[in-house]
Amino acid sequence: MEYPMFLKNEPFEQNGQSITLYELSALQRIEYLEYLAAQARQFQSAPDDADEMARLAFFSRRQADVNAWLISRSLWHADTTRNVDEVQAEILRSWSLDALSGGAAKVTELSGMKPDIQADDEKHESLSPEKLSGQN
C-alpha cells in the first residue's frame, strides 16, 4: 500500500532551470543530524599544519558534500526508486557551488530547519533596554 505524501515542495530555480525540491521526512531529518555529526568528526581531523589553500579545499569539499546530501534526499521523494548515494554523486558532479548552496537553503527552509532570523531579531528587539524600561 502506498501512503500519501504530506511533504511540502517548491520549485528551485537556478540559471533558467527549475527542479522541484521536497522537505525532508522525519527519518531523513534524524539521518541528517547523524550525517552532520560524522562530518563534524571529519572537520576535527582537518590537518592543522596544512596551508590555507589546502584547508579551504578541505572545508569547501565538506560543505559541498553536506549540501549535496540534503538535496539528494529531497529529490529522492520525486523518484524513490533511485539510490540516494548515486543521486548525491550526480549532484556533486553537475551542480555549481552556488546551486548547491541555494538548493540546500531551500531544503532546510522547506523542512523547517532554517532559523528564523527575523523572528530572532524581533525577539531581541522586544527585549531591548528601552522597551524594558518603558521608553521608546
Is the model more confident about 17 or about 50?
Answer: 17
| Sign (positive or negative) of CA dihedral 125, 129, 135, 136 | negative
Mean pLDDT of 15-42: 94
**Which one-letter amino acid corresponds to residue 13?**
E
Mean pLDDT of 99-120: 86
Per-residue pLDDT, 11: 97
**Which one-letter amino acid corresponds to residue 2?**
E
* Residue 36, pLDDT above cutoff 70: yes
**Cβ–Cβ < 8 Å for 97, 13:** no
What is the per-residue pLDDT across 38-60, written as a single tens digit (0 to 9) for each? 988 877 776 677 788 888 888 89
Please, is 67 exposed, middle or buried when counting C-beta atoms within 10 Å of its C-beta (0-12, 13-18, 19+)? buried
